[in-house]
Structure 1
């Protein structure tokens, strides 16, 4: 299913708060913070000429976040960045001076961080990022996980020292419970979704994601004409699309937001014209996108810079995982987790439909960018779906 954006605010400027979070100054700050991370390195941008030819587009590039900061996901850029920013702000307030990221290891800063507790809800990847950020600064982290999060993903969060709290129900239940417990105990919620009165911290999380765009634009031969972005609550898609709109202006690409048909809260929001919650909570193989309530801040951005919204099916996601693992021609082999290739799934589905190609202006001259948002964050599940261990996939291009 595809829905073009007919909202009156479509292609209007971002509101001031969103433009500030996602603009040039914001990405400068995020990159500066990253430069102080010991394992920071730009993630690769792969050209996929064989797949581009199959799909009938001029070029296809994939930005691979499966290697980001040792966490295997783009989420490494959001939660940990927000945690570090919040610790420095608290230290600045208590010490009566501006505290810079270069001072994170100073004893007085670490003493302040040690008294702070950061809490979040997660499908897996965001929790690891928050836990990693807390560990870097010496703070405590508590991560709420719902019943659909695999034991392997929970163990990966716990390895960073987080306290794990299991929650019955789905992701949205865990978000609410995390917020309630944090409010009662004076903890700081670091969420990648927003709600009334809680917008700034999700804005910091999204600000971290803008680094992906800056890195990609540095290495693309020309800016993309089309971008397909996966969405859970919408924060990632909003960050990427918002920054592209700010940087490229009228030359910005056509942005298509892609979701699992079973958890399409942004699609439903686009239909309704306001943030909505899907009444059912049906699980999807695209587990990191298993969200049923749109982030209001993300929708505020996407209503302006999202050009189309579409849904994809379970079997399509698995097919793309396998296609990336077994490439044609000179395309590299890429490890993409269950949710990582959802944007590419959208492109594959769009390219196969003459009507959708026409609606999106997709043709033999299109320059398409997609982002692999995660690698094999659950290696056992990956091997089950692809029939190869992730390390064996990578050996093909070693």
Structure 2
């Protein structure tokens, strides 16, 4: 499934609100907040020369978010950041003075935070970020998970002190229930998807993701010519595409959104010209991307800043996981979860079927993002045939072999 962006808005500047959210000043704020996180460090950017040569590319780089802030996923950047912003804004109102990130541990600010409850729906990673942010700020978190979320992912969220609520149905059902319960109880919803009338907080979540782009551009010797990024509701894809469009302008890379064929809600939006709900059929192995309705804000950005949309099959995703775990030549070992290697899966499929459509050739420099490590180690071992520890141990053996 491949669809060039034929939307009338394609190539137009971002909506003013989105440009402010995803622009340079917003990214500066994110970096300032990250500087106050005890375990913040720039995540690795790996070159894969062997795979690039095999595919017929000049260069292939993987930005590895499996190390982000101890949560193993890019989502660590979004939910917690939004929680901090909301706590500080509320504290500023209640205390009658300006409050910033360095005040987060002050007793008067924490007293305000203690009266706040943050709710969200999650497939796993976003909920961990919101729960961690609430714990660090001294607030309460209630996390809604749908029937398909594994026990391992639920336990990973609960360890941050969050109250867990199981919801029948899929991710979209959990989004609706979280919003309903939060409205009844006066809680703040920190969602990574948006809907009419609810856009600012998902925008803050997306703003958090701009740190990935800024780091990658610093780490690369030259900007990429092509970027493949996976999408659930579209937040990470929109954040990356939007920030690249702002900072690189006419020199921005060709941007391709990649989704599971079984949950291709952004492809459906591209085909319809607006956000639509797609039918829920079989679940996808790409658990963190199993979403059936795109975010309104994300689609508004992608309609302008994405160049093509594509979907990959289950085997494509698992194949990318295995290829990263067992690389050829001098390529490094990378542990990618079920959704982490989907951008790479899209690239491999595109090189076989859509090379000419996208202008991919021997001069192309491609960037993909490993959006998660093995956030569910048991599931990773089932799919790859090795535990994450064994995959990394193999790397250590290879490095020690003369």
Q: Which secondary structure does the structure 2 equivalent of 1:142 belong to?
A: strand
Instruction: Tell me the equivalent position of 1:96.
Output: 96
Q: Given the alignment of the two structures, is residue 397 of structure 1 paired with residue 395 of structure 2, yes or no?
A: yes
The answer to whether the 8 Å contact 1:170/1:281 transfers is no
Q: Which secondary structure does the structure 2 equivalent of 1:397 belong to?
A: helix
Q: Given the alignment of the two structures, is residue 52 of structure 1 paired with residue 24 of structure 2, yes or no?
A: no
Query: In the aligned structure 1, how far is the partner of 2:106 from the partner of 2:80?
Result: 18
The answer to whether the 8 Å contact 1:335/1:375 transfers is yes
Structure 2 matches for 1:244-283, cutoff 5 A? 244-283=244-283
Query: In the aligned structure 2, how far is the partner of 1:320 from the partner of 1:342?
Result: 7
Task: Return the TM-score normalized by structure 2.
Answer: 0.98
The answer to whether the 8 Å contact 1:281/1:292 transfers is no
Instruction: Tell me the equivalent position of 2:363.
Output: 365
CA deviation digits over 1:238-294, x for unaligned, max 9? 000000000100000000000000000000110000000002243100000000011
Query: In the aligned structure 2, how far is the partner of 1:283 from the partner of 1:47?
Result: 32
Runs of 4+, deviation exceeding 3 Å:
none
Query: In the aligned structure 1, how far is the partner of 2:68 from the partner of 2:389?
Result: 16
Which of residues 383, 386, 389 is equivalent to 1:385? 383
Structure 2 matches for 1:204-283, cutoff 5 A? 204-283=204-283
Instruction: Tell me the equivalent position of 2:400.
Output: none
Instruction: Tell me the equivalent position of 2:332.
Output: 332
How many Å apart are 1:392 and its aligned residue?
1.6
Instruction: Tell me the equivalent position of 1:148.
Output: 148
Q: Which secondary structure does the structure 2 equivalent of 1:396 belong to?
A: helix
Q: Which secondary structure does the structure 2 equivalent of 1:352 belong to?
A: helix
Instruction: Tell me the equivalent position of 2:22.
Output: 22
Structure 2 matches for 1:57-72, cutoff 5 A? 57-72=57-72
Q: How many residues align?
A: 396
CA RMSD of aligned residues (A): 0.6
Q: Identify if the C-alpha distance between structure 1 residues 281 and 111 changes in structure 2 by more than 3 Å, giving closer, same or farther.
A: farther
Query: In the aligned structure 2, how far is the partner of 1:164 from the partner of 1:236?
Result: 25
Which of residues 365, 376, 384 is equivalent to 2:374? 376
Q: Given the alignment of the two structures, is residue 108 of structure 1 paired with residue 108 of structure 2, yes or no?
A: yes
Structure 1: state its 5+ residue gaps: none
Query: In the aligned structure 2, how far is the partner of 1:275 from the partner of 1:282?
Result: 21
The answer to whether the 8 Å contact 1:92/1:98 transfers is yes
Instruction: Tell me the equivalent position of 1:158.
Output: 158
Structure 2 matches for 1:298-317, cutoff 5 A? 298-317=298-317
Q: Which secondary structure does the structure 1 equivalent of 2:258 belong to?
A: strand
How many Å apart are 1:216 and its aligned residue?
0.3
Instruction: Tell me the equivalent position of 2:132.
Output: 132
Query: In the aligned structure 1, how far is the partner of 2:249 from the partner of 2:393?
Result: 40
Query: In the aligned structure 2, how far is the partner of 1:51 from the partner of 1:30?
Result: 33
Q: Which secondary structure does the structure 2 equivalent of 1:178 belong to?
A: helix
Query: In the aligned structure 1, how far is the partner of 2:395 from the partner of 2:222?
Result: 26
The answer to whether the 8 Å contact 1:62/1:369 transfers is yes
Structure 2: state its 5+ residue gaps: 397-402
